[in-house]
């Protein structure tokens, strides 16, 4: 009788241990999947920013042919592009500070491109150039993609952050090194639409 009771106790203990193991394993794998989702969303954000940076040399070359007097504006665009493309963020960290640094460099490039497009208003021949108009359309489309990918990233980061902060996930997240991810936030002055014409 004692032997049967010992087996029952052993089976119950093994069953409890297995249930706990699979529960923790499921929770851990869920956090890994969400962490990878955040990294994937970040890669898409970098991808669309890179697309914008890749359009800049063609834009500068096209403008340079028509607007010789805009050398300082063109130089500012080239310098801002160089700074933006040198900015790297480790997707495993993605802290608020890292994302803010990345955003600042990208915003500088966006502002430099905006100033260049405003200066182009003085050159009707350039505005009529088909290559220039195509580049403007591509830039506009890329800016829209940037907005979409930033929103997707923020949503993936929010889902991940909520998961790792909920009890009891927060205990295991701390044990396994899952840390909160940062978000993209609106830049100062973003509540006012820029006065840039793509016509």
pLDDT score for 129: 83
For the stretch 39-78, pLDDT in tens is: 999 999 999 999 999 999 988 888 887 777 778 888 899 9
- Domains delineated in the chain: 2-176 (1.20.1440.20)
- CA angle 91/96/99 to nearest 5° reads 55
Q: Model pTM?
A: 0.80
CA distances from 3 to 6, 9, 12, 14 (A): 5, 10, 14, 16
Residue pointed to by tokens 């108009």 = 133
- Listed as ranges, residues in the chain with pLDDT below 70 are 1, 187-199
Confidence (pLDDT) at 193: 44
pLDDT for 128: 81
Predicted local distance difference test score (pLDDT) of residue 189: 52
Return the pLDDT at 196: 46
pLDDT of amino acid 191:
45
The pLDDT score that the predictor gives to residue 195 is 47
* Sign of the torsion angle spanned by Cα atoms 194, 123, 81, 59: positive
CB contact at 8 A, 89 and 36: no
Cβ atoms of 183 and 99 within 8 Å: the answer is: yes
């Amino acid at each position: 009788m004692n032997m049967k009771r010992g087996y029952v106790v052993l089976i119950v203990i093994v069953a409890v241990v297995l249930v706990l193991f699979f529960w923790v394993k499921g929770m851990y794998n869920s956090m890994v999947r969400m962490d990878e989702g955040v990294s994937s969303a970040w890669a898409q954000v970098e991808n669309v920013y890179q697309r914008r940076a890749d359009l800049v040399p063609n834009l500068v070359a096209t403008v340079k042919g028509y607007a010789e007097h805009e050398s300082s504006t063109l130089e500012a665009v080239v310098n801002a592009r160089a700074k933006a493309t040198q900015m790297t963020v480790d997707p495993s960290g993605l802290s608020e500070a890292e994302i803010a640094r990345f955003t600042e460099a990208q915003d500088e490039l966006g502002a430099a491109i905006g100033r260049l497009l405003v200066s182009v208003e003085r050159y009707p021949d350039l505005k009529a150039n088909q290559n220039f108009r195509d580049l403007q359309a591509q830039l506009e489309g890329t800016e829209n993609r940037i907005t979409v990918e930033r929103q997707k990233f923020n949503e993936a980061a929010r889902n991940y952050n909520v998961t790792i902060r909920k009890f009891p996930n927060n205990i295991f997240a701390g044990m396994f090194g899952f840390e909160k991810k940062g978000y993209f936030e609106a830049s100062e002055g973003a509540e006012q639409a820029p006065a840039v014409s793509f016509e």
